[in-house]
Amino acid sequence: MKRIETIKELRELLKEYREQGKSIGLVPTMGYLHEGHMSLIKAARKDNDVVVVSVFVNPTQFGVGEDYDSYPRDFDRDCELIKEAGGDIAFIPSVKEMYPDKDDIVVELEGDITKGLCGMTRPTHFRGVTIVVSKLFNIVNPDRAYFGQKDAQQVAVIKKMVRTLMFDIEIVACPIIRESNGLAMSSRNKYLTDKERQEAAILNQSLGMAEGLIESGERDASCVRSAMELMIGSVPSTDIDYIEIVDRDTLENIETIEGNVLIAMAVRFGKARLLDNIMLEV
């Protein structure tokens, strides 16, 4: 496993692999890796000859007052886990390497796809995601790139960006990896106390409850949402950012539950803002 910090060195190495006809998979991450990230690396390992894992805490996707400075970082441990999961290259650039110019370019999707869900409280977040992923795509030029379904809106945004900007890259969405109590794994779970970590299982439980309601015939999205709010609200330390029931691809709100549906939420627990979701075909 090679650790690379500069774009120049990475490009030179990847050029050699390309000339040998090797396929390249990219797994973009912000590091502090856990089994969720490792599942993406393992998926990329299966499909590609060369697996590049980027580790970059991207400042442009954090809003003012968010946790950019305190975001957990441990690049040495990340390299060990990348190796263990079968990655070939850890690309760990500095902020200067990724953003060399004071004035950068804006890559921002038109329309509502970035405005709902997380975009409501993080209005500049997806602009930061689309610029950094565009840069990574241009640096690595992968055949495939791997993203976790935990960040369902991110997957929808990246797929739309790839279509719109005509990147010749296959986007592979991987399932959510969870702790044994059902809590979706996240680097930000580090912010939780043991008690909060236990209590945060309520997010996944509320999704299971919603699925049960829908299976038994409930089709009114607002009824399902209210039941989830009630259940999550029963844990005193929660602060619901949003619970939305939307079309899986357009992320538009739906009133009647049918077709490909995404139930997504963000909930604050102490210092952490946690995401979870479920996809249903109704």
51 contacts ligand AMP (rule: CB under 6 A): no
Residues 243 and 224: their CA atoms lie apart, in Å, by: 10
93 contacts ligand AMP (rule: CB under 6 A): no
185 contacts ligand AMP (rule: CB under 6 A): yes
11-19, 113-121, 135-143, 183-191 -> range binding ligand AMP (CB under 6 A): 183-191
Comparing CA positions, the residue from 21, 90, 15 lying closest to residue 49 is 21
Instruction: Report residue 6 CA to chain centroid gap.
Output: 24
List helix spans (H) across the chain: 7-19, 35-47, 75-85, 95-98, 118-121, 125-140, 152-165, 194-199, 201-215, 221-233
29-37, 99-107, 114-122, 242-250 -> range binding ligand AMP (CB under 6 A): 29-37
Nearer Cβ to ligand AMP (14/42): 42
Among 37, 42, 135, 160, binds ligand AMP (CB under 6 A): 37
Residues 116 and 236: their CA atoms lie apart, in Å, by: 26
CB 58 within 8 A of CB 135: no
Among 4, 85, 148, 266, binds ligand AMP (CB under 6 A): 148
> What residues contact residue 181 under an 8 Å CB cut-off, 6+ apart?
197, 198, 201, 204
Binding residue count for ligand AMP, defined by CB under 6 A: 17
Q: Which of 24, 37, 40, 118 is catalytic?
A: 37
Residues 146 and 28: their CA atoms lie apart, in Å, by: 7
Q: How far is the CB of 173 from ligand AMP (least distance, A)?
A: 9
Among 48, 60, 130, 186, binds ligand AMP (CB under 6 A): 186
Instruction: Report residue 228 CA to chain centroid gap.
Output: 23
6-14, 146-154, 164-172, 262-270 -> range binding ligand AMP (CB under 6 A): 146-154
Comparing CA positions, the residue from 264, 266, 253, 265 lying closest to residue 220 is 253
Q: How far is the CB of 162 from ligand AMP (least distance, A)?
A: 14
Among 176, 203, 257, 262, binds ligand AMP (CB under 6 A): 176
Q: Enumerate binding residues for ligand AMP (CB under 6 A).
A: 29-30, 36-37, 39-40, 147-148, 150-151, 174, 176-177, 184-187
Annotated catalytic residues are: 37
